[in-house]
């Protein structure tokens, strides 16, 4: 059952930072903030799916004005409870279509969030929305996994991403439709819980085409925020598309 905040309601928001602790490590956050601050320059930043503020808060502390969009009131409430969170403007809504006032030097989506849009049309709309909010010469940045299909032998649809004594996680792929779902099983104090979240996986080349449809062009693609080269062995990418200055 989906709660009123989608798949990121109170039960998820309450433990989101803890369950994603590795993503809050300085080694993960600081390179991302460095790149985004560089792209923002003297302008503003627009975060699509701002969540609990993992990136927005340190970026704001760098002196960049951040405006976020998110569908989950529970996640945004956690952002508001953190030091500096009350100063960040957040508009509630679907980040594929929600409009805010003004223009931005950089718009960004991190931690695979574009896959929360479960149709190609919605992902295309997201690129169009980002482009509409960018000033000429501005950039749209997406951090995303590379679909892990090389780990699927014939007849198999599941790929585990975490196997531990108290937690199991695996992704189910449908290669015919590019749909996938992440499944999480957790055992605490002898009690089990289960939740699943649907996604749509998307390839780098498909994202490039979405960017072209939105009037942007690829500027850079790296393996990660430290700007290591993207190769055929990379399991993730950070891509930057630019809106023409003219």
pLDDT in tens, 137-165: 999 999 999 998 988 989 999 999 889 88
Under CATH, which architecture does the 10-146+203-242 domain have?
3-Layer(aba) Sandwich (3.40)
pLDDT at 6: 65
Which token pair is 31?
């390179």
Contact 140, 130 (CB under 8 A): yes
User: Nearest Cα to 233, choosing from 146, 112, 144, 110?
Assistant: 146
pTM: predicted TM-score of the whole model, two decimal places: 0.92
- For the stretch 12-17, contacts whose Cβ atoms lie closer than 8 Å and that sit 24 or more positions apart, written own/partner, are 12/74, 12/75, 12/195, 13/52, 13/72, 13/74, 13/75, 13/77, 13/78, 14/74, 16/51, 16/52, 16/75, 16/78, 17/52, 17/54, 17/78
Which token pair is 120?
């190609």
Domain ranges for the chain, please list them. Answer: 10-146+203-242, 149-197
Which token pair is 205?
């080349």
What is the C-alpha to C-alpha distance for residues 105 and 38, in angstroms, rounded to an integer? 10
- pLDDT tier, 3 (very low <50, low <70, confident <90, very high otherwise): very low
What is the C-alpha to C-alpha distance for residues 17 and 222, in angstroms, rounded to an integer? 26
**10, 147, 197 from 229: Cα distances, Å:** 38, 18, 31
Q: What does pLDDT average to over the chain?
A: 93
Q: 79-98 pLDDT, tens per residue?
A: 999 999 999 999 999 999 99
């Amino acid at each position: 059952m989906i709660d009123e905040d989608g798949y990121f309601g109170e039960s998820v928001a309450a433990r989101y930072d803890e369950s994603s602790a590795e993503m809050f490590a300085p080694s993960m956050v600081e390179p991302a903030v460095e790149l985004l601050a560089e792209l923002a320059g003297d302008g503003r930043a627009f975060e699509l799916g701002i969540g609990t503020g993992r990136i927005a808060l340190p970026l704001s502390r760098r002196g960049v004005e951040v405006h976020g969009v998110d569908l989950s009131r529970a996640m945004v409430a956690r952002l508001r409870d953190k030091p500096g969170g009350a100063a960040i403007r957040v508009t509630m809504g679907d980040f594929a279509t929600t409009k805010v006032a003004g223009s931005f030097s950089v718009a960004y989506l991190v931690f695979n969030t574009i896959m929360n849009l479960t149709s190609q049309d919605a992902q295309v709309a997201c690129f169009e929305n980002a482009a509409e909010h960018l000033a000429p010469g501005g950039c749209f940045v997406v951090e995303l996994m590379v679909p892990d299909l090389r780990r699927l032998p014939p007849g198999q649809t599941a790929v585990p991403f975490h196997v531990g004594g108290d937690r199991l996680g695996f992704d189910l792929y449908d290669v015919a439709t590019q749909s996938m779902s992440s499944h999480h099983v957790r055992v605490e104090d002898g009690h089990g819980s289960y939740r699943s979240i649907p996604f749509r996986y998307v390839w780098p080349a498909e994202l490039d085409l979405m960017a072209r449809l939105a009037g942007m062009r690829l500027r850079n693609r790296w393996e990660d925020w430290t700007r290591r080269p993207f190769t055929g062995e990379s399991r993730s990418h950070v891509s930057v598309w630019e809106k023409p200055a003219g």
